[in-house]
Amino acid sequence: MSELETFISEARKYLEQENFVQASASYLKSLESAEDLKDKAVIWAELSWAYYRLNEFERTIEAAENTLKLDPVYKAKEDIYRIQGFAYIGLNKDEQAIDCLNKSLEIDRNSPKQQITLYELAKTYFKIEDYETAYPIFEEIESYFYQNQQDYWLSTLFYKGFVQYHRSNFSESESIFEELLENSTDGARKATALFGLAFVAFSKKDYLKTINLCESLVKNDKNFFDMETVGFLTAASFYYLGRKDVFEKYYMQLKKNFPNGRYAAELTLLKENLASNGSKN
């Protein structure tokens, strides 16, 4: 075995063991030994994945670019564009991510690995609020995930439910979140379904139901990813139900926990309305 083959074999072993620091070091050593441009391209391609797993997204992109510079006809370009897209997602560069993921999908859209690419693309469109583009992609991948990867299927339902919510299709949104709830087996996943149902109930001005859903959510997952929104929905619901005393408690807690939060303006307005109505009475 040549020195180059030894370094590459070592790097791949580390990569398989998820020792990404050692893997990247071994790949860099192999680059020093490689002379053939196509060999170097392969090394840079594999190194890009090691960098990605280390959350070194800028270096991931650079490594992927080096692959294509050294071998413009690289046989797995879809993998290069995919890893670039994932890295741009990590950098919150949504336009670049969308461009790279679409390039990857132009080469291969149907293989199992590319269903994850489609999922990440749809999520990115969702993030930038391009719901009309995101929704058909979620629908495209739903059947595959239902049959093969349940976690991704349930996550797809979550996003579909919120797309329909943002489209003001509340009945369809509610139906999707109920399906998510019925098929969730752990508290954290159930909480995401209850979160969506709380949004729908609040939009329908069913404030008592909103409160009950939020309380159930917290029971299922006390470390839920968006407690600020849960708190706001609960506080606002108590406000609209005329429960000034309870609203005040939630208001004070939210101001304490999220002094510069996303709902600061709305909470202040509700608080001022209470004070104004109180002075009139």
Q: What is the pLDDT of residues 183-208, one digit of tens each?
A: 999 999 999 999 999 999 999 999 99
Residue 4: pLDDT band with limits 50, 70, 90: confident
What pLDDT digit, counting tens, does each position of 85-133 carry? 999 999 999 999 999 999 999 999 999 999 999 999 999 999 999 999 9
Spatial CA neighbour of 125 closest among 141, 113, 149: 141
What pLDDT digit, counting tens, does each position of 212-229 carry? 999 999 999 999 999 999
Whether residue 3 is predicted with pLDDT greater than 60 in this model: the reply is: yes
225 vs 251: CA distance, rounded Å:
20
Largest CA distance in the chain: 89
Mean pLDDT of the chain: 96
Instruction: Name residue 234's amino acid.
Output: T
What pLDDT digit, counting tens, does each position of 155-183 carry? 999 999 999 999 999 999 999 999 999 99
For residue 119, the tally of other CB atoms under 10 A from its CB is 23
Q: In the 3-class helix/strand/coil scheme, how is the chain assigned residue by residue?
A: CCHHHHHHHHHHHHHHCCCHHHHHHHHHHHHHHCCCHHHHHHHHHHHHHHHHHCCCHHHHHHHHHHHHHHCCCCCCHHHHHHHHHHHHHHCCCHHHHHHHHHHHHHHCCCCHHHHHHHHHHHHHHHHCCCHHHHHHHHHHHHHHHHHHCHHHHHHHHHHHHHHHHHCCCHHHHHHHHHHHHHHCCCHHHHHHHHHHHHHHHHHCCCHHHHHHHHHHHHHHCCCCCCHHHHHHHHHHHHHHCCCHHHHHHHHHHHHHHCCCCCCHHHHHHHHHHHHHHHHHC
pLDDT, residue 89, reads: 99
Calculate what percentage of the chain has a pLDDT beyond 90.
Answer: 93
pLDDT, residue 279, reads: 47
Whether residue 2 is predicted with pLDDT greater than 90 in this model: the reply is: no
Whether residue 280 is predicted with pLDDT greater than 60 in this model: the reply is: no
pTM for this prediction: 0.92
What pLDDT digit, counting tens, does each position of 235-249 carry? 999 999 999 999 999
Tokens of 217: 């959510």
Give the mean pLDDT of 245-268.
95
pLDDT, residue 1, reads: 58
Q: Going from the N-terminus, what domains does the chain have, and what CATH number goes with each? A: 196-281 (1.25.40.10)
Residue 7: pLDDT band with limits 50, 70, 90: confident
268 vs 270: CA distance, rounded Å:
5
Spatial contact of 39 and 4, defined as CB atoms under 8 Å apart: yes
129 vs 134: CA distance, rounded Å:
9
